[in-house]
Chains A and B, each alone.
Chain A
Amino acid sequence: MDSRLSRRQFVKLGTAAGVAAALVAPVPMQLPFNQQQGLPKSSGEAPASATAKGMLIDTTKCIGCRSCERACKKANNLPDSAPEDKEKLNAITFTTIQTKPVPTKDDPKAVQPVKVQCMHCLNPSCASACPVGALEKTPGGPVVYHADRCIGCRYCMMACPFGIPRYEWHSNTPYVRKCTFCADRQAQGLQPACSEACPTGALKFGVRADLIAEAESRIRSNPDKYVNYIYGKDEVGGTSVLYLARVPFEKLGFRTDLPTQAPPEATNEVMTKLPGVVVGAAALLGGIAYFRKPPAVSGAKRAEEETYEEKKLRKAA
């Protein structure tokens, strides 16, 4: 007759499978590479640390000397960029000064140097994207990269709203490359190489909350010098790197149309519904499969058959 499972066997099998899954599932969580500071917190829980660090980049103080760029290359053992790659981020350039034209009536050739690098978002899209947790938001602020985990799917590159992660396209063992906020130096109580090298104080490293207060104070004290906006305070849920500027930010190549919601929150809204979908679908499909009698000859099928027969008769006539 029926070598299908009876309902009792199905319930037994299902329970056994469920118990087995529940027992096995926690095991990978205990493995060493999933233990580091727990799993990456990239689900909308920004690190709670009130002492999380940031960097204030006051472009009005930047003279474009590129000391930061050179210091970064030195600290990370990066070779010099090729001339055609000047002012570009790439696999060997974690930060660079980009010269933006900001012509005025009095000075049509005026330029504004702007330092670009990873923004170390509070709720980073890259960390949310990464299937193996190679990118991780640390409580201290830096978004770090665990190269040994990376499989090279490049979803982080797709996800980053600022287009920061770069790839080693011409390596046969490629990695993702980006600014690390000098997490290793910070761990030793040092500041990042770039802010240490800056001669004008355009780069200020400190506690993010303090830097925001500092930025607001600068704007208040010099309303003619600054656009009344701190870039990075609210963009995509807030970033560790904050900017002040003399001209509107879109003139300096900043994206000013970014949502204030961190994109991982949009993903999580859907991901959290998945267990419900699984349970609901299992119940629905199981119910249909085990309680539905095969349609004898359904009305639709009879109609289709008659038409086919009629057609055959028609064609024979």
Chain B
Amino acid sequence: MIDSLRQRLTPRVTVALGLLGLLWASTAWVVLRRFLEGLGSVTALSDTSPWGLWISFDVVCGVALAAGGFTMAAAVYVFKLEHYRPVLRPAVLTAFLGYILVVMGLMMDLGRPWDIWHPIVMWQPHSVMFEVAWCVMLYTTVLALEFSPVVFEKFHLERPLRLIHAITIPLVILGVILSTLHQSSLGSLFLLVPSKLSQLWYTPLLPVLFFLSAVAVGPAMVIVESNLSSRAFGRGLENDLLAGLGKATSITLFIYLAVKIADLLVRGAWTRLLMPTLTSGFFWAEIVIGVLLPAVLLAQRSVREDPKALFRAALLVVGGVVLNRFNVSMIGLWAYTGPTYIPTIAEIMVSLSLVLGGVVAFGVIAKFFPVFSEEGQEASQP
């Protein structure tokens, strides 16, 4: 094993690992300062901008981009689309790691993270945040359970395996319900600020729009993750399978676009699209580059069947959803605060460290556990 590891330490890999180590060491210093001196010492957060990069990216985007878990689980176990089974485990792993990163991001962002358990016993059921906290807690547990067969298989734990298989479908249904609730509720968080969020994004349909975009980006994330791991592990790419995911994303994006346009028209907010403001620019970018363009591209078979084109289109979808989440949670609020908040290098380092940590964790787990193995998946079919 040592020899094979040594073989892998090419100059490129060594430099990359060195840089990563440097980043993580510097981030450890940021984390220390954050806990010793308070959030204000390492972030650009302020009374006018109490939420920043860690909320917009690590929490809100993090949850959205983990949507591959519930969409693939629903596809295989509820809709019985068996041919997507090969991408199920990697999708569940991506989602599970994604939610762990969300929690780690929260531990940094919360002012009093040692009290993070409070919502378990201190209830305020009218709060959207309360519902999000509970759903995220429960869904992370569901994801752990959905991923557990991979661990049980590795260590040949037959009885736990049988137990999980017996409850897989109710577990998946529970996971889809929980995901529906909190994906939409992250949008509902902003229902409370009609006087702060730009009318381009403020709508009673925020929960619906957040849910639809999560359903659209789930398959897109699976396409992205499949391409990246195929390159990293030298695996084949099952593009015919991914092409089907691209089609699902395209259809969902068109539905999303229709709902969004109808909403703008009904509320009369479409007039703001004609104003040459910074926020309308961000809206156009989100809709045209992040929704319309990939929807049209993915509607074409020639794009879906070309792995490179499919990958790029999927990246546009991911970028579009990230931009949407930033627009709703940060940029759209510039109507109230002005563009005063710019994240510090320290904040960016923390977010980057978390994402790269997730990527490394994925790679390590995929190396040692039957995440991709064919035999493992056949044996595990209930």
Contacts and interface: CB of A to CB of B under 8 A. Distances in A.
B162 interface: yes
Contact of B80 (A129, A155, A285, A292): A292
A169 B38 contact: yes
A185 interface: no
B225 interface: no
A34 B123 contact: yes
Contacts of A90: 47
B303 interface: no
A289 B111 contact: no
Given A263-B194, A267-B191, A270-B191, A131 B113 contact: no
A8 interface: no
Given A3-B166, A10-B170, A159-B192, A277 B38 contact: no
A13 B123 contact: no
A39 B124 contact: yes
Interface stretch (A110-118, A216-224, A238-246, A304-312): A304-312
Contact of B126 (A2, A13, A43): A43
A28 B130 CA distance: 14
A202 B130 CA distance: 40
A285 B37 CA distance: 49
Interface string B192-216: 1111100000001001000000000
A255 interface: yes
B382 A3 contact: yes
B38 A172 contact: yes
B39 A169 contact: yes
A5 interface: yes
A205 B138 CA distance: 47
Interface residues of B, number: 72
Given A3-B166, A293-B80, A255 B125 contact: no
B119 interface: yes
Nearest to A171: B38
Contacts of B126: 40, 42-43, 128, 264, 267-268, 271
Contacts of B132: 131
Given A158-B50, A167-B50, A294-B82, A172 B169 contact: no
A159 B130 contact: no
A125 interface: yes
Contact of B113 (A2, A152, A157, A281): A152
Interface in A242-269: 255, 257-259, 263-264, 266-269
Interface in A107-139: 125, 128-133
A292 to B, nearest CB: 6
B80 A174 contact: no
Interface in B259-289: none
Interface stretch (B2-10, B172-180, B312-320): B172-180
Interface string B149-189: 00000000000001001111110110011001100000011
A94 to B, nearest CB: 13
A263 B79 contact: no
A262 to B, nearest CB: 10
Contacts of A131: 118-119, 124, 127, 129-130, 132-133
B50 A157 contact: yes
Contacts of B48: 163
Nearest to B45: A169
B244 interface: yes
A173 interface: yes
Contacts of B133: 131
Contact of A281 (B41, B131, B177, B301): B177
Which of B47, B78, B80, B243 gathers the greatest number of chain A CB atoms within 10 Å? B47
B191 A266 contact: yes
Interface in A67-98: 89-90
B240 A151 contact: no
Interface string A142-157: 0000000111111101
Given A2-B382, A4-B382, A167-B47, A133 B124 contact: yes
Given A31-B122, A311-B305, 8 more contacts: A3-B165, A40-B126, A125-B193, A128-B126, A267-B188, A274-B181, A281-B177, A282-B177
30 contacts: A4-B166, A5-B166, A10-B170, A13-B170, A31-B122, A42-B126, A43-B126, A125-B193, A128-B127, A129-B129, A132-B118, A132-B123, A133-B123, A151-B112, A152-B112, A155-B129, A157-B50, A158-B193, A158-B196, A159-B192, A168-B111, A267-B128, A267-B188, A268-B126, A269-B204, A281-B177, A289-B77, A290-B169, A294-B82, A308-B240
